[in-house]
Chain A
Amino acid sequence: MLEFKSTSVVYGDGTKAVDNISLTIKEGEFCVLLGPSGAGKSTLMGMLNGLVTPTSGEVALDGVVMTKQTKRTLQQQISMIHQQLHLVPRLSVLHNVLSGKLFAVPTIKSLFKLFDNKDQRRACMLLQEVDLEEKHLYRRASALSGGQQQRVAIARAFMAEPKVVLADEPVASLDPTVSRQVLNSLKLASHAHNATVLCSLHQIEYAIEFADRIIAMRKGQVVFNGVPSELDDAALKAIYGDEYRAATAEERAASTQDKTLFVPSKLTSAVA
């Protein structure tokens, strides 16, 4: 269980990135973070991977306060999936996945790529879970498509048996079909390994489709916290405010262009 207890983060120039947030996220929940850029999503995730220290209040994982844990335990309990993938392009898919567990391998053994059979089997299992086949095992990561690479990154994140997985806009550079596959893989993995996933997204339709729970932020505060079915127009306006309307106007103007839009069409018509 992940708890934020009246947590605030104030940066050096006085901006309140996170303003007195109290949240409880259950184990194994696939939780989507919504909110415009600069709403404090990254800061919220940063507190979990140790990049940001709360100025007041605290964050606790299973009752243990984060700041009191060693960096090493943090690294093992919390995994990251990055927007830019950050796989090693010339390393094989298998070893990219195995590299998520390097902290548990003695340095000398790892120099010669000697991994325990158990770890290798787990890597295979994770790869199958994200719908990759045996033939991809020894291919270079760079030989895979964007969606496949992102799924390898998911497998790598779950390699260390983490309690929390942070995904920072994992589908930002993927097309809609592939984005759905990737989010589906992430959700399934989250449930299968009972790991809490915090996934920041800009696409509201994906959030509604996949999330167990949606947490939305605006100007450092939580403005929505509930199941997807509760996310109505009022809530969306509360999240995106003027920017939400601006986006829809822009969308109407650019209706000839066929691309993934900031706000899905069915919601646009509802607001208009």
Chain B
Amino acid sequence: MLENQHPSNPKNWHQWSLEQMVTPKMIGILLLIIVLLGLSARNTEMDKAAYKTGEAVLAVIGLSQSTVLDGGASFVKQAFPFTIESRRSTNRIVDFDRDNLPLFSHIEVVEEQRYDALNETYTAEIKEYLVTPFGYLWKVLVKMWETIEMGFWGTLLSVMISIPLAIFSAKNYSPNKFTYLGARFILSFHRAMPELIVALFFVLMYGFGPIAGIFALAMHTSGVLGKFFADEIENAPKGPQDALLSSGANKVQVLRYAVLPQVFPSYVGYVQYILERNIRTATVLGMVGAGGIGMELKGRWDMFAYSHVATILLVILTTVMLLEYISQKIRAKSM
């Protein structure tokens, strides 16, 4: 009776077929992968990387010379101490008022040796500097705040662009096939354009400054957000939507009452992540002139002012870590 209900396997356990775990085919594939990796390593100079790194390791114990270490050392030597004060030569300041100095600042008089190339001699020269303690740090912090604001505005614009696009590119709410395909195309175009490259174009159009950076961030992340939003709308539970539709509500109302409340928490999560990411990315965008702290970093780097660069890096590092800490706290609270 029982055997009729559950037809059992006629084979006994010692007849069961077992599979070979290592086959010639697998070994062949493994060899092919190794060969391809080798070819790719030649292309990408991975052999040179290994050689140079090995050399650097030897140099550490004093057995060799290394350009890698020299490069690193040239930064580290000049990076300390960090430049925190700002120092400007007084004769370069227009309308310098000696009796009315800016807040917290003082004048420093230094004797500098100056090399005279014609006579091949050193001459002493008295120079005056206006020194503001923490002046440079303050400047960097202001720039950092500008960067955070860029990230914020980039995210705001990106949400405003992505919500309508997401509704049009959700299959079940797009009015017709053309709007669906169109919106999907725009979203993937936005996603495909890296911020740095878009920022170059926006700098060309809007000039140097944060506008270009904000637009670049908004464009790229709207593609990312729009895709997330659209997928969420498509995957929202169908039951409540059908219930509202069957009681005569129109599509916009169903979207508002049965979809939005359900997808809202994950939207907030995505936007929070995008905001965090945008602030991080905004620090780099200044490298192409799109505003924020990156512009200051690039300028100082090109002047080999590594002690200034070190201050900037420290501020960026602190901000990003703080940012991640805060957003982790918020996430833990909202869960």
On whether the beta carbons of B252 and A88 are closer than 8 Å, the reply is no
On whether the beta carbons of A111 and B247 are closer than 8 Å, the reply is no
Q: Which residues from B are CB-within-8-Å of A80?
A: 243, 246-247
Distance between B156 CB and nearest chain A CB, rounded to angstroms: 20
Mask, B300-322, CB within 8 Å of A = 1, is 00000000000000000000000
B226-244 with Cβ < 8 A to chain A: 239-240, 242-244
On whether the beta carbons of B247 and A88 are closer than 8 Å, the reply is no
When chains A and B are docked, how far (Å) is the Cα of A189 from the Cα of B283?
A: 63
On whether the beta carbons of A89 and B247 are closer than 8 Å, the reply is no
Report if A111-B239 is in contact (Cβ < 8 Å); known contacts: A102-B248, A103-B249, A160-B248: no
Q: Which residues from B are CB-within-8-Å of A85?
A: 239
Closest to A88 in B: B240
Most chain B CB inside 10 Å of its own CB: which residue of A79, A82, A86, A89: A86
Distance between A197 CB and nearest chain B CB, rounded to angstroms: 16
On whether the beta carbons of B247 and A79 are closer than 8 Å, the reply is yes
On whether the beta carbons of A72 and B248 are closer than 8 Å, the reply is yes
Most chain A CB inside 10 Å of its own CB: which residue of B248, B252, B253, B256: B248
B199-250 with Cβ < 8 A to chain A: 239-240, 242-244, 246-250
B241-267 with Cβ < 8 A to chain A: 242-244, 246-250, 252-253, 256-258, 261-262, 264-265
On whether the beta carbons of A99 and B248 are closer than 8 Å, the reply is no
Interface range on chain A (Cβ under 8 Å from partner) = 20 to 34
A67-94 with Cβ < 8 A to chain B: 72, 75-76, 79-80, 82, 84-91
On whether the beta carbons of A49 and B252 are closer than 8 Å, the reply is no
When chains A and B are docked, how far (Å) is the Cα of A156 from the Cα of B249?
A: 13
On whether the beta carbons of A76 and B239 are closer than 8 Å, the reply is no
When chains A and B are docked, how far (Å) is the Cα of A90 from the Cα of B256?
A: 12
Pick the residue among B243, B249, B256, B264 that contacts A82 (CB under 8 A).
Answer: B243
Pick the residue among B242, B248, B256, B257 that contacts A103 (CB under 8 A).
Answer: B248
Distance between A214 CB and nearest chain B CB, rounded to angstroms: 26
Pick the residue among A75, A86, A105, A110 that contacts B239 (CB under 8 A).
Answer: A86
A95 adjacent to chain B (CB < 8 Å):
yes
A100 adjacent to chain B (CB < 8 Å):
yes
On whether the beta carbons of A99 and B261 are closer than 8 Å, the reply is no
On whether the beta carbons of B250 and A107 are closer than 8 Å, the reply is yes
Closest to A87 in B: B240
Distance between B249 CB and nearest chain A CB, rounded to angstroms: 4
Report if A103-B247 is in contact (Cβ < 8 Å); known contacts: A82-B239, A86-B242: yes
Closest to A79 in B: B247
When chains A and B are docked, how far (Å) is the Cα of A43 from the Cα of B330?
A: 50
On whether the beta carbons of A91 and B257 are closer than 8 Å, the reply is yes
Pick the residue among A49, A84, A107, A156 that contacts B253 (CB under 8 A).
Answer: A107
When chains A and B are docked, how far (Å) is the Cα of A174 from the Cα of B163?
A: 39
Q: Which residues from A are CB-within-8-Å of B258?
A: 88, 91, 99
- Pairs across A and B, CB under 8 Å, 24 listed: A75-B246, A75-B247, A75-B248, A79-B247, A80-B246, A82-B239, A82-B243, A85-B239, A86-B239, A86-B242, A90-B261, A90-B262, A90-B265, A91-B258, A95-B257, A99-B244, A99-B253, A102-B244, A102-B248, A102-B257, A105-B253, A107-B252, A111-B256, A160-B248
4 nearest A-B residue pairs (beta carbon): A103-B248, A102-B249, A75-B248, A86-B243
Since A90-B264, A91-B258, A102-B249 are in contact, a sample of 18 more A-B pairs with Cβ atoms closer than 8 Å, ordered by chain A residue number, is A49-B246, A75-B247, A75-B248, A76-B248, A82-B239, A85-B239, A86-B239, A86-B242, A87-B240, A89-B261, A90-B261, A90-B262, A100-B247, A103-B250, A105-B253, A107-B250, A111-B252, A156-B247
